[in-house]
Amino acid sequence: MQHKVLILDFGSQYTQLIARRVRELNIYCEIFPFNSKNFNVENYKAVILSGSPFSVRSKEAPQPDLSKIKGKIPLLGVCFGAQFLAHNYGGRVAASNTREYGRANLSFVKSGELFFEGVSEASQVWMSHSDTIVQLPDNFELIASTHDVKNAAFKIKDETTFGIQFHPEVYHSTDGLKILENFLVKIANLEQTWTPDSFVDATVKKLKSKLGNDKVVLGLSGGVDSTVAATLLSKAIGDNLYCIFVNNGLLRKNEFKNVLDQYKGMGLNVKGVNASARFLKELEGAADPEQKRKIIGRVFIEVFDDEAHLISDVKWLAQGTIYPDVIESVSATGGPSATIKSHHNVGGLPDFMKLKIVEPLKMLFKDEVRRVGASLGIDAELLGRHPFPGPGLAIRILGDITAEKVSILQEVDAIFINGLKEWDLYKKVWQAGAILLPVNSVGVMGDERTYEKVVALRAVESTDGMTADWVNLPYAFLQKISNKIINDVKGVNRVVYDISSKPPATIEWE
């Protein structure tokens, strides 16, 4: 049996965080909706039940079938998971008098409990629930309480089943990782062998046997995911991997040449295709953001497809899809209706290409992709690059696009990004860029009145792009950058800084 953990999802906002913590312990895990048919419990050495927006007392509450799990495989219920165990095996769960949300401190019922080994008494834990376990079933043993929550942690006698009311996966639970480690390593005897190096070895082996002598085509974007996917595949099948890097004319200044050179230096079999003119021609007159996106997506597929057809007998299309794109999740509105998000890094696969898909990073989180990249020896600068949208500068030039506007924005963007690097701010920012606004403003240069373009600078902090806040960049930095842009970039006489958070704004302006 593989040393892996099954996380059953009941729709909690924290489920992915549980998985990330388990993986931080170098233990491999997978998330499935509690009602999915796509897993076999016998393949796992431990099971974790997630939290949920549902109350166990509600009619719509998820009803997992634990008959093959409880008492047979080490089992940990977290929040809803713990309440489900208490509620379904003879205890009582009721609404709490007060909604219990925030920090609390543990106190142990007796010392020496393996589950809490190395966890300090009064350790801070994070609560987030409105129901509470008021009575444990007879064969459940209380092992920890907090000031407001008597039944904060329990174990089931003669089983390796545990329940905790708090969330060990959030950072506010200071010993949360230790508790997960105790459960997984000391109680469930899982080996902590899942490291980036072991992932690379195992994946390269798998890719070799899966792909044999087949040819594979992959679209490189200059981003982290496609680069790491290409490097892994190249390690497995060498020059049978054909990488295509398309210049859509909407990349950053010098990006096409720099990144292409970098790829070649890494030994990738890569072809750079300069399709700038084709993209710009197709975009002529298009001002609507969605229309621009559609045109770029379509032309990309056409260009990519033309190139792929030049490779004889190609069988596979490789993609840099990552785990958050493929996790099936329980929808917040209803247990049984699982939704699967799909994602195509190359903008959708045209039917007529009829290629099989290979996605070597499909089970990795973004931070793991970076760690695997580092273990493959990919340059730290490349791995640390900010995200950049597929449609590139097209969605940062508000309104219609011309070659002249692209060139102005590339200059402005380069000054901003290079400035962030010079001031050691680049790594503190999750994503940054410049936006060319479709308005002119009056200025004065020397004795002359000017009437030129306005650019906005945007720098945000975020973890996943879903929410974001603007970065409080030093005034001295903004002053320097603004001066440089207005002095050096012909056609721009005003710079503004975007101080909107997401939500309600978005990161991109279009």
Which residue of 246, 389, 473, 482 would you call a contact of ligand XMP, by CB under 6 A? 389
Among candidate residues 157, 71, 175, 159, the one with its CA nearest the CA of residue 116: 175
Answer yes or no: 172 catalytic.
no
Choices 184-192, 314-322, 360-368, 388-396; region in contact with ligand XMP by CB under 6 A: 388-396
List, in sequence order, every residue forming a beta bridge with 442; answer none if it has no partner: 451
Compute the least distance from the CB of residue 218 to ligand XMP, in Å: 16
Choices 93-101, 389-397, 415-423, 481-489; region in contact with ligand XMP by CB under 6 A: 389-397
Which residue of 51, 62, 196, 391 would you call a contact of ligand XMP, by CB under 6 A? 391
Compute the least distance from the CB of residue 94 to ligand XMP, in Å: 41
Bridge-based pairing of strands 448-461 and 492-497 is parallel
The smaller minimum CB distance to ligand XMP, of residues 324 and 387, is found at 387
Compute the least distance from the CB of residue 430 to ligand XMP, in Å: 8
Compute the least distance from the CB of residue 99 to ligand XMP, in Å: 31
CA angle 395, 399, 403 (to 5 degrees): 80
Compute the least distance from the CB of residue 181 to ligand XMP, in Å: 33
Buried b (16+ CB within 10 A) or exposed e, 154-183: bbbeeebbbbbbbbbbeeebbbbbbbbbbb
Choices 116-124, 334-342, 449-457, 500-508; region in contact with ligand XMP by CB under 6 A: 500-508
* Cα radius of gyration rounded to whole Å, the chain: 27
Compute the least distance from the CB of residue 274 to ligand XMP, in Å: 20
Would you count residue 293 as binding ligand XMP (CB under 6 A)? Answer: yes
Would you count residue 305 as binding ligand XMP (CB under 6 A)? Answer: no
Residues 6 or more apart whose CB falls under 8 angstroms from that of 483 comprise: none
Amino acid (one-letter) located at 141: E
- Residues numbered 417 to 436 that lie near ligand XMP (CB under 6 A) are 431
Amino acid (one-letter) located at 421: K
List, in sequence order, every residue forming a beta bridge with 330; answer none if it has no partner: 338
Q: Give the binding-site size for ligand XMP (rule: CB under 6 A).
A: 11
Answer yes or no: 79 catalytic.
yes
Compute the least distance from the CB of residue 436 to ligand XMP, in Å: 16
Compute the least distance from the CB of residue 294 to ligand XMP, in Å: 10
Would you count residue 219 as binding ligand XMP (CB under 6 A)? Answer: no
Answer yes or no: 169 catalytic.
yes
CA 124, CA 134: separation in Å to the nearest integer?
Answer: 22
The separation between the first and the last C-alpha atoms of the chain, rounded to the nearest angstrom, is 49
Enter the tokens of residue 340.
């699967």
CA 267, CA 234: separation in Å to the nearest integer?
Answer: 8
CA 474, CA 423: separation in Å to the nearest integer?
Answer: 10
The smaller minimum CB distance to ligand XMP, of residues 387 and 443, is found at 387
The smaller minimum CB distance to ligand XMP, of residues 167 and 396, is found at 396
Choices 23-31, 182-190, 231-239, 499-507; region in contact with ligand XMP by CB under 6 A: 499-507
For residue 374, give the H/E element and its range.
Answer: helix 366-375
Compute the least distance from the CB of residue 210 to ligand XMP, in Å: 27
Bridge-based pairing of strands 448-461 and 107-108 is unpaired
Q: Which of 3, 87, 129, 167 is catalytic?
A: 167
Which pairs with CB-CB distance under 8 Å and at least 24 residues apart come from 199-204? Answer: 199/364, 199/368, 199/372, 199/375, 200/232, 200/235, 200/372, 200/375, 200/376, 203/232, 203/236, 203/360, 204/232, 204/235, 204/236
| SS3 call for 348 | coil
Choices 104-112, 121-129, 401-409, 502-510; region in contact with ligand XMP by CB under 6 A: 502-510
- Residues numbered 438 to 497 that lie near ligand XMP (CB under 6 A) are 465
Q: Which of 169, 359, 368, 510 is catalytic?
A: 169
Which residue of 272, 324, 387, 443 would you call a contact of ligand XMP, by CB under 6 A? 387
The smaller minimum CB distance to ligand XMP, of residues 104 and 406, is found at 406
The smaller minimum CB distance to ligand XMP, of residues 74 and 391, is found at 391
Residues 6 or more apart whose CB falls under 8 angstroms from that of 447 comprise: none
The smaller minimum CB distance to ligand XMP, of residues 113 and 508, is found at 508
Amino acid (one-letter) located at 371: R
Which residue of 150, 298, 315, 502 would you call a contact of ligand XMP, by CB under 6 A? 502
Would you count residue 507 as binding ligand XMP (CB under 6 A)? Answer: yes
CA angle 45, 366, 18 (to 5 degrees): 40
CA angle 365, 31, 15 (to 5 degrees): 80
Compute the least distance from the CB of residue 435 to ligand XMP, in Å: 11
Q: What is the DSSP letter of 219?
A: E
Binding-site string for ligand XMP from residue 320 to residue 359, where x marks contact by CB under 6 A and - marks none: ----------------------------------------
Would you count residue 506 as binding ligand XMP (CB under 6 A)? Answer: yes
Q: Which of 79, 129, 243, 359 is catalytic?
A: 79
Among candidate residues 338, 337, 355, the one with its CA nearest the CA of residue 346: 355
Would you count residue 390 as binding ligand XMP (CB under 6 A)? Answer: yes
Question: Which residues would be at the binding site for ligand XMP (CB under 6 A)?
Answer: 293, 387, 389-391, 431, 465, 502, 506-508
Residues labelled as active-site residues: 79, 167, 169
